[in-house]
Chain A
């Protein structure tokens, strides 16, 4: 039964004195949308804390778009931290939305952001707190329609039983179409089943219940998803894509948080997509083609939104901001307009060459040089060619020299271990490269500051992702990961170099959930029942709990993470396509083995990934890229 739509804030408030950071739960921020009158209500949920979720640009866009629709109200919800969640259970208080404090279960649509592979237990926790059945096929007629979308939807199968529908790709138009379809279906009195299957008619939407899993000789052990007869669902769902960013507002409606959030500044998406073609990178494959926002739009929107929100920092965000064809000019004009206001401009990550450093320097004119981050990803040129990270050691040294010359003293370098074809020599090259950077710093930095020169090396474990050229690869087994980590650590003797690791066990669970099929839901559910939540928080992640969960459902984590897939097999995610052709991925996999690189199609010509033909779009650049 659908709970009553009334504010439960008073009950919540009685608990706020007993929890960490109560300001997470109070709403009433500048810019929050309050519409208690509209009878069609959507709740968008980022299944993590307020600080993480409120920073998410994608949800902010959808919140904005939905609240512009007549007769529709859209609210936010985040997952209460464990202290409050436990108190709410104890007091029988269900999960509430932020704005109206209505029970989340009283909404018509509940939309989750599927941000990464480890978010599954939090989604189950949210549904359970809300009092909504975890599985789509167990929900009641008037329960909310539960939908998902976001970056991590290109192997949706482990969470497929949870979602009534999953959107692939850009959401700004599709979310409205989905909401309208649900609203019209409810008005017409259609049964839930029909409303759900009808969502498949929205371009880009995958309805898991319209597919069954078939396992045979042509598939991996997890099978392939095939449309249920008579469901009218397509064999392959292609992602939704916006032809141009310029047609969308540069800045969505802004909600200015009180508490310090992860990304506490004005964000402007200056481009979407990246065509550099790093072979391990899922976003680089799934967000194509590249669409740049025109410079004029960025600058005027930034100035206007800064005035409205009161932020003292604006960040030009994207997968690769320094690739924007007008990056340098855009930074100059923003800096000029903001002079003397104490407002700064930032870009999240720099390109690994001296242009990247120039841009970073332009962001910090006069400011302090806290640290500069680069991602060479691999220690040797051979391995960088395998992964198509098109940077040379000269690029890195040139960037480092430029950075030291510009006043930076600390540098952070990101690497991965366990990349396909990696040898001990590649691993050992990581500390050697860091040592050369430190050496260069000691040469270039004036004597009194020389001791401040330091490099921190952060090493992640390679996780094979769907819809990348490495989707057939297995992950390096845990024992071998640890051996290589030890090797790297022992080879690193310079005290100015600090090495830190990602937890290889969390990376293994991430690999399992990236690669497994629909059966993976049993694992996620068992893990949640075993107490797992906030798995992306290092201090909360429990490998023993995941191991126990895996054992209870007969899954061997080591085996699932590390077994390679046959290139001839149908994969568990072949039916949800970002538009890239499988043939292109295979060609790239073969070129990787040979160490042959593939150029960036925004700087040369088309390299045949297939997105533009498949989805009838094209790279949309604002000018010539340098």
Chain B
């Protein structure tokens, strides 16, 4: 194995219309961006060679994010400011890398390591927001959440997945919620599913704008950021 390889960790935001990409579409898009960036990305050997790249957990379709991540293996080191600049210039505007750092090649994969996420949900409701919030409180207090997705019944354990839920502000027809969720080797909670269940209970139609604000690893109650200096081989470089 060549020792010159590096694992570049990239944080990026995802905005606007690109919230509507599914995970496979996002992956295809980022890989094409990496190819366009001309960074010396590493390709696996074998019958169907593919780019060595790994992503944080899929973002539900329709959700924006301030903090998504991918890890890209490079064949050799590239100066961090240069790596960030070439990624920025090859991405469509609504996918915006804003921080990069090198982590050890053997770090665990992002998708399993990131176990907490904070979400912000802006709700506008056709009916009374107070009724909706009351329903939400009941739904969130239950141990499980059951709903149908693509015609199949699903049950999510809320006591496992929902760490906290708080109403930040409300007006007559609108409200902003903040949720913190846990993830791991169990079915994850989509904020949309929680609010949709409340809307069903309150018999109202809602339009949501959901944003993932942060993701981190939880080390026995202590949060650890994916670009925490303790994980990095050199200080991270941030844009903006």
Contacts and interface: CB of A to CB of B under 8 A. Distances in A.
Interface in B26-77: 26, 28-29, 31-36, 38, 43, 47-51, 61-62
The list of the 4 closest CB pairs from A to B, nearest first, reads A310-B32, A310-B35, A26-B17, A310-B36
Contacts of A29: 92
B133 interface: no
Given A30-B32, A309-B36, A311-B32, A367 B48 contact: yes
A28 B94 contact: yes
Contact of B36 (A13, A308, A368): A308
Nearest to B92: A30
Nearest to B41: A342
A367 B47 contact: yes
A311 B33 CA distance: 9
Contacts of B34: 310
B36 A28 contact: no
B43 A22 contact: no
Interface in A1-36: 13-14, 16-17, 21-23, 25-30
Contacts of A23: 20-22, 25
Interface residues of A, number: 31
Contacts of A311: 32, 35
Contacts, number: 76
Contacts of B157: none
Contacts of A260: 24-25, 28
Interface in A362-382: 366-368
A297 interface: no
Contacts of A367: 47-48
Interface residues of B, number: 32
A544 interface: no
Nearest to A31: B92
A547 B207 CA distance: 43
A456 B207 CA distance: 48
B18 interface: yes
A309 B32 contact: yes
Interface in A168-193: none
8 contacts: A23-B22, A27-B17, A28-B93, A30-B33, A342-B43, A342-B49, A366-B47, A368-B47
Contact of A26 (B20, B49, B207): B20
Contacts of A14: 207
B90 interface: yes
Contacts of B94: 28
B42 to A, nearest CB: 10
Contact of B28 (A258, A307, A366): A258
A310 B92 CA distance: 12
Contacts of A605: none
Contacts of B26: 258
Interface in A271-304: none
A92 interface: no
Given A26-B20, A29-B92, A16 B35 contact: no
Nearest to B47: A368
Given A258-B25, A342-B51, A368-B48, A310 B43 contact: no
